[in-house]
Amino acid sequence: MRSVERITVRGSDTEVNLVFRLAEAYMAEDSAVSISIAGGGSGVGIAALLNGKTDVANSSRALTEKEIALAHKRGIRLVAHVFAADALVIVVHPSVGVDSLTLEQLGRIYAGEIRDWAEVGGRPGRISLYGRQSNSGTFVYFREKVLGRDFSPALKQMNGTAQIVESVMRDPYGIGYVGLGYVAKADGSIRQGVRIVRLKANARRPAVSPLDEVALRSGDYPLVRPLYQFTNGRPSDKIKSFFQFETSPAGQQIILENGYLPPWPDMLSAYHALNPPSAQIETLNYYTETR
């Protein structure tokens, strides 16, 4: 009897479905591996890795200083693998009449400080905020990156991203944040019925559309984040071959189909230039290796 190697993966809810699809496709090719995947949030995954409870931690954010210190104390050498990127898109109802916002305006809108579209140059009317529920990794990312404070309690917390798009399409004063895959399909078609807002990192920077691939890759579009998978030390052969599958053309096709971006060679350096990491850790790049 052949022995089956088990790999456990825990963490980010943003990644859980995507990694599940990838693992499914991978296991169809290699029956000697059994990959079990659980969500719980990026922090939960990293904590499990530090406690030796998982082989791989999915995370839609970088490590915090605290986590790195804890790993150091326990003699764990965390290694990062970046297999995809996720861009958040801000959508509004077309009748709002706003097509670009600065990150600061966006934060003030979602914190409930800007309540009327007229304050940002739109058609007067009370802004309807749509977002995800607090159990979403994206909720935390958006709060961290855009707000830096609590969401307005008037935020309508929707059950899933598809519901946000539906609601914004129907609500003449609606605004929502969704993953790129929900508005732009892999075949290049764009979701009709909502307007995609161009974002400025700050008032001096140009407004950039998330549909502009160059801007996504250069980091000019401010809401792009790499999706990480952390391991304790260099991954074992089995995990490594799964990681390599993720970055292979077949894996990247799955990533595109699920609405995420395949990584590009200098993605991390561009991202780190804008979001300095709290500490450098070894980052594997199977993507360029497999090209």
Partner 1 sequence: MTGRRYFWNRFFENSLAVSAFVSIATLVGIFLLLAVNSWKAFTYIGLGEFFSLNAWNPAAYDTPSYGIGALLLGTALTTLGATVIAAPLGVGMAFFLSEIAPMRLRNLLKPIVELMAAVPSVVMGFTGIVLVGPFLAKVFGLPNGLNALNGSILLAFMALPTVISISEDVVQAVPRAYKEASYALGANRWETLIRVTLPACYSGLLAAIMLGIGRAIGETMTVLMATGNATAMPSGLFSSVRTITATVAIEMGEVPTGTTHYYALFACALVLFLITLSINFAAERVAARLRKRGQ
User: Do residues 109 and 175 lie in contact, with contact meaning Cβ atoms separated by under 8 Å?
Assistant: yes
> Which residue, 163 or 236, has its beta carbon nearer to partner 1?
163
> Which residue, 151 or 287, has its beta carbon nearer to partner 1?
151
> Which residue, 11 or 210, has its beta carbon nearer to partner 1?
11
- Beta carbons within 8 Å of 51's beta carbon, 6+ residues apart: none
Q: What is the C-alpha to C-alpha distance for residues 101 and 113, in angstroms, rounded to an integer? A: 15
**At residue 263, what is the residue type?**
P
Binding-site ranges for partner 1 (CB under 8 A): 13, 40-41, 44, 125-126, 128, 133-135, 143, 147-150, 152-159, 163, 166-167, 170-174
Q: How far is the CB of 226 from partner 1 (least distance, A)?
A: 22
**Of 57, 54, 64, nearest to 79 (Cα)?**
57
> Which residue, 36 or 135, has its beta carbon nearer to partner 1?
135
Give the rounded distance of the alpha carbon of 161 from its chain centre.
Answer: 13
End-to-end alpha carbon distance in the chain: 35
Q: How far is the CB of 108 from partner 1 (least distance, A)?
A: 15
Q: How far is the CB of 173 from partner 1 (least distance, A)?
A: 5
Q: Which helix (H) or strand (E) holds 28?
A: helix 13-29
Q: How far is the CB of 148 from partner 1 (least distance, A)?
A: 7
